[in-house]
Amino acid sequence: MSLVIRSSRMGKKGERKFRVVVKEKRSRRDGDSVEALGWYEKGKNGKKEIKLERYKYWLSVGAQPSSAVEKLINER
């Protein structure tokens, strides 16, 4: 089972909100996840809250972050 850290869409139509989740690589974008690591909003505010300790743990276990999530983490 290969794991990936990526974003999953949530919220109402027109609102760009995403969850940062750990899931199996072959699962759907909004399908079941192993663990939710946090969330972020796109737009003017750009609010975000991500558990960095858990993110580092999943990297040490072998999960691969998507390019979008990697950029998001490096912005901090």
Per-residue pLDDT reduced to its tens digit, 33-57: 999 999 998 876 778 999 999 999 9
pLDDT at res. 76? 61
pTM of the predicted protein model: 0.85
Q: Which residues of 55-70 are buried (b: 16+ CB within 10 A; e: fewer)?
A: beebeeeebebeeebe
Average pLDDT, the chain: 89
Residues spanned by the domain of 27: 3-74
CATH label of the domain that carries residue 59: 3.30.1320.10
Tally of domains within the chain? 1
Residue 67 DSSP SS3? helix
Is the pLDDT reported for residue 63 higher than 80?
Answer: yes
Average pLDDT over residues 63-75: 92
Cβ burial of 3 (10 Å; 0-12, 13-18, 19+) is middle
